[in-house]
Amino acid sequence: MSTLTINTLTASMGAEISGIGLDQLLHDDTVPELIWNALREHGVLLFHDLGFTPDTQLQFSERLGTLDRTNGEQYNEPGIQRVSMDPKKNGGQETVRGTFNWHMDGCTLPAEKNPSPATILTCAVTSETGGQTEFASTRAFFDSLSDEEKDRLSTMRVVHSVAGSRRRVIPNPTPEQEQAWAAMQSREHPMVWRHREGRPSVIIGGTSDYIVGMGKDESRLFLDDLVARATTPDRVYSHEWSVGDTVIWDNPGMLHRVQPYEDGSAREMIRCTLVGEEPTE
């Protein structure tokens, strides 16, 4: 039976996990529950030098839940997304630049799918500059609001779209880009996600395009203000990557972003996500 050694990363969230190795992660039947319990409590879990290969990361991820194998299918690596500026490995620079903004994974999935409960990310190659991944808890942010503001946000609905994210990267798109973006996914969610387990979270970030019933300009100001308040420095954990680091985070309760890095960077992260089972409403 395994145990985890847990050292907190910040006063508000995050934990560095030690005292457990690859063999235990892959074969000990007590490990999945230990990981989920730690994730619910701390939101972000950091491991060093587990020795993951893409295959063993897949095996471990499948122990935590149903693996989303649609990631990486077009690159003949079902279940693996290589986060890279190289368009032969990923969507390329435009896709990666979208992650420079605060966001939650899976907000623009088709209506029959739900956002992933957790993301598992391992560093294969670091960038020369930038590249830190930052996290901020939207559960803690909701807890901090007044009752009046909680009630107000709970009545709101937000449309998330790929176009909304791309406009933050390319604020003056060409007509061709606008047309391409319009054909991409969009999805309406409640502003507040009231989870079956744990605290409510706020569904905001770079893909949030507009609030239903509110003009787009007013929506953008309102949404940007929420993100700014949720990500003040005292609420953020910034992770400086080393090769072999693995981070797992509570996707439904966490905003994350990567600090900008150079377009020609060899930085590469190995990403797995789980199939979401809980709808946002």
In whole angstroms, how far apart are CA 191 and each of 89, 146, 203, 211, 214?
33, 16, 5, 9, 13
- Mean pLDDT of all residues in 259-263: 93
How many helices and strands, by DSSP H and E, does the chain display? 9, 15
How much is the average pLDDT of 207-227?
94
The percentage of the chain sitting over the pLDDT mark of 90, rounded to a whole number, equals: 74
Binned at pLDDT 50, 70 and 90, residue 273 comes out as very high
Strand order in the sheet with 133-137: 236-239, 133-137, 254-258
Structural domains of the chain ordered from first start: 5-273 (3.60.130.10)
For residues 189-213, average pLDDT: 93
DSSP element (H, E) containing 221: helix 216-230
Mean pLDDT across the stretch 84-111? Answer: 83
Backbone angles phi, psi at 150, to 5 degrees: -60, -45
The 10 Å Cβ neighbour count of residue 197 is 8
58 CA to centre of own chain: 18
- Would the pLDDT of 91 be above 80? no
pLDDT at 102 over 80: yes
Question: Which residues lie across from 157 on neighbouring strands?
Answer: 190
Alpha carbon distances (Å) from 255 to 152, 224, 225:
21, 13, 14
* Residue 201: per-residue pLDDT: 97
Could you report the per-residue pLDDT of 134-165, keeping only the tens digit for each? Answer: 999 999 999 999 999 999 999 999 999 877 77
Helices (H), 48-87: 54-64
Residue from 46, 26, 6, 7 nearest 245 by CA:
46
Q: What's the CA gap between 122 and 101, in Å, rounded?
A: 20
Q: In this predicted model, which residue has the larger pLDDT, 98 or 203?
A: 203
Neighbour order of strands in the sheet with 81-84: 5-8, 15-18, 44-47, 246-250, 118-125, 268-273, 81-84
Least confident of 48-52, 108-112, 202-206: 108-112
Residue 185 has pLDDT above 90, yes or no: no
Q: Is the pLDDT of residue 250 over 80?
A: yes
Out of 78-92, 106-120, 163-177, least confident range: 163-177
Q: How many angstroms from the chain centroid is the CA of residue 247?
A: 11
Q: Identify the pLDDT of residue 214.
A: 96
Predicted confidence band at 70 (pLDDT cuts at 50, 70, 90)? Answer: confident
pLDDT for residue 1 is more than 70: no
Quote the mean pLDDT of the chain.
Answer: 92
Band of residue 72 on the pLDDT scale cut at 50, 70, 90? confident
% of the chain exceeding 70 in pLDDT: 99
What is the reported pTM? 0.93
Nearest CA-CA partner of 164 in 155, 176, 173, 153: 173
pLDDT above 70: residue 92: no
